[in-house]
Amino acid sequence: MILVTGGAGFIGSNFVLDWFQHSDEPIINLDKLTYAGNLQNLKSLAGDDRHRFVKGDIGDIELVKTILAQERPRAIINFAAESHVDRSILGPEEFISTNIVGTYRLLEATRWYFTQAPSALQEQFRFLHVSTDEVYGSLSPSDPAFAETNRYEPNSPYSATKAASDHIVRAYHHTYGIPVLTTNCSNNYGPYHFPEKLIPLCIHNALAGKELPIYGDGQQIRDWLYVKDHCSAIRCVVERGRVGETYNVGGWNEMANIDVVKTVCSVLDTLKPKADGSSYASQIVFVKDRPGHDRRYAIDASKICEELNWKPAETFETGILKTVRWYLDNPDWIANVTSGAYQNWLNLQYGNSPQP
């Protein structure tokens, strides 16, 4: 039995689905079901006894203790987090509450469980904390990619709260002996991605005939990781990773945001051409850049490749094709998640006036 937190979100739900393609070991899935948590992601598991969902907050210590005492998991994989930089700029308090206080309370419940567990379970037990490359700050074009030894230089409320959670996890290992592992991943993309992030937002807007908003000059560079590759990396780390270590997980796919969007448009032009024959790229507009926008992220994933023999299976070209096809094949999922509240947020964040 393993406990997955945040398992109804984008990466978490992909992980749960991926897990059952490789294992029959049961999962307890704890998720608060905020705006980005969606049980529809897991509808294929309806009636599957291997998966049990619990609606709740990682910050509810007593609830987490009850789950741990009753289910006695051999591992906890913590995906639960507020994760969108733009939202953290508009309202940082929720990020502090979930990413810092929530992680602390989850660790406190874990410490209670671990310290009274039999020695056989203690030897087997792992706490894997899923984090982000954004804790390392921003790179110049000539800088080497982020290694696990890079110092933390977070630049947004989101990345600062994730950096804090990473430090708390590390402290609980060194102070209390909790057998932790941390992964810091690059930008994920793939199925079930809530359409506030760049790729699903552009797919959704393109199909709806709306503008495709690009911050600033669009030259911000990110390393893109197909979500199912991320899931396979997490499985490797929880099973074979060295306790107390951090593993960077990347896709070896550095691309500027504008090139990502143009690639999405090109795939859509092929798979679902517009009736008038024009390219979806004609809908691209440049909008005012967000405050403190990091210029470049890049992950050096050598450590996980060399130690655990992991490498991504997808290139950006193969992964983006699968991603666009998934969104084209699942219009009902998109319709269900793009509620009125989501539209109000888009208007607040991007406004209605494109910038030159």
Domains of the chain: 2-190+223-254+292-314 (3.40.50.720)
| pLDDT value of position 162 | 98
| pLDDT value of position 231 | 98
| pLDDT value of position 195 | 83
Tell me the three state secondary structure of residue 263. Answer: helix
Q: How many helices (H) and strands (E) does the chain have?
A: 14, 12
At 229, list the tokens: 């590759």
Averages of pLDDT over each 10 residues, the chain, 356 residues: 97 98 97 85 95 96 98 98 86 94 98 97 98 96 96 96 98 98 97 90 95 95 98 98 98 97 98 97 94 93 98 97 97 80 58 40
Cβ neighbours around 291 below 10 Å, total: 10
> Of the residues 134, 229, 294, 314, which is catalytic?
134
Q: What is the pTM of this model?
A: 0.92
- What's the CA gap between 255 and 245, in Å, rounded? 28
CB 245 within 8 A of CB 281: no
Cβ neighbours around 244 below 10 Å, total: 15
133 flagged as catalytic: yes
Which residue in this structure is represented by tokens 């619990």? Answer: 54
| pLDDT value of position 340 | 56
134 flagged as catalytic: yes
CA angle 262, 342, 223 (to 5 degrees): 35
| pLDDT value of position 341 | 61
CB 13 within 8 A of CB 337: no
> Of the residues 18, 31, 57, 133, which is catalytic?
133
> Of the residues 104, 136, 158, 192, which is catalytic?
158
